[in-house]
């Protein structure tokens, strides 16, 4: 295993970098956008849940484009985070803090997403939301009412708020470092511009996630 990791070091690192953006980052944005439907009306939210769940072989898509890349990124990311000797107390520069937060939010997001998958996806799998009776019904799916019931608990809401902000930070700062890692933004000026854009994106993505959480309150 160690030998395999050493031999394919470059490929694994680049896959780690890529998988965080495509498909995991892309899915996060899609997911938050779908959730935001709940702000407009419970019926629209339920409609989009039903539409996604009626995709043909949706579980294949979930495993191939979400589960595998997500956990590859997360588990390999733990190795990367564990390798660093954090030194923000001596070198308190902005990017050094970002380096620290990137790894911290990665770990938080891993725990949060695992909890979240158990909370909604696994419960759906074992039929905790009822059983499927027909194509038109919301039974078996995490409908607006089911999410609302879960979000009546303040602790659950707090967990989701922390998780959503951590995921948003990890994605947006990850885009900034992705652009460097692949040699797209090279000079200090282009990196400064991408820093401004990705910071603005962090605020926007966080807001989208937070607003969606409160749509269920």
Q: Which residues bind other proteins (CB under 8 A)?
A: 6, 9-10, 13-14, 80, 82-87, 89-91, 93, 95-96, 98-99, 102, 176-177, 180-188, 191
- In 84-129, where does DSSP find H-type helix? 94-116, 123-125
Name the residue nearer to other proteins (CB basis): 14 or 40.
14
Closer by beta carbon to other proteins, 89 or else 131? 89
Instruction: Answer yes or no: are the C-beta atoms of 97 and 86 closer than 8 Å.
Output: no
168 backbone φψ class: left, alpha, beta (φ>0; ψ -120 to 50): alpha
Q: How far is the CB of 175 from other proteins (least distance, A)?
A: 12
C-beta of 90 vs 154, nearer to other proteins: 90
Min CB(33)–other proteins separation in Å: 28
Structure tokens at 117: 């998958």
Nearer to other proteins, 143 or 185 (CB): 185
Rounded least distance, CB 110 to other proteins, Å: 17
Q: Which long-range contacts does 43-50 make (Cβ < 8 Å, 24+ apart)? A: 45/144, 45/215, 46/138, 46/141, 46/143, 46/144, 49/138, 49/141, 49/142, 49/143, 50/136, 50/138, 50/141
Closer Cβ to other proteins, 18 or 44, answer by number: 18
CB of residue 13 to other proteins, shortest distance in Å = 4
Tokens encoding 163: 């998780």
Complex with other proteins: residue 73 or 116, whichever CB lies closer: 73
Q: CA 39 to CA 23: how far, in whole Å? A: 25
Least distance (Å) from other proteins to the CB of residue 79? 9
Q: What is the DSSP string of 63-80?
A: IIIIIHHHHHHHHHHHHH
Give the nearest distance from C-beta 105 to other proteins in angstroms.
Answer: 14
């Amino acid at each position: 295993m160690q030998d395999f990791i050493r031999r394919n070091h470059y490929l694994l690192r680049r896959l780690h970098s890529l998988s965080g953006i495509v498909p995991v980052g892309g899915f996060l944005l899609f997911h938050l956008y779908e959730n935001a439907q709940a702000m407009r009306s419970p019926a629209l939210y339920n409609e989009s849940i039903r539409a996604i769940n009626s995709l043909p072989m949706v579980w294949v898509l979930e495993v191939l484009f979400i589960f595998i890349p997500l956990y590859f990124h997360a588990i390999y990311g733990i190795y990367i985070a564990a390798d660093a000797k954090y030194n923000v107390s001596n070198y308190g520069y902005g990017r050094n803090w970002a380096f620290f937060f990137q790894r911290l939010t990665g770990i938080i997001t891993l725990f949060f997403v695992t909890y979240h998958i158990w909370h909604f996806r696994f419960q759906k799998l074992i039929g905790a939301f009822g059983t499927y009776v027909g194509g038109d019904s919301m039974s078996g799916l995490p409908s607006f009412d089911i999410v609302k019931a879960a979000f009546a608990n303040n602790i659950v809401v707090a967990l989701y708020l922390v998780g959503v902000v951590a995921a948003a930070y990890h994605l947006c700062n990850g885009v900034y470092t992705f652009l460097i890692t692949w040699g797209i933004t090279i000079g200090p000026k282009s990196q400064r511009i991408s820093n401004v854009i990705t910071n603005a994106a962090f605020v926007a993505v966080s807001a989208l996630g937070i607003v969606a959480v409160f749509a269920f309150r």
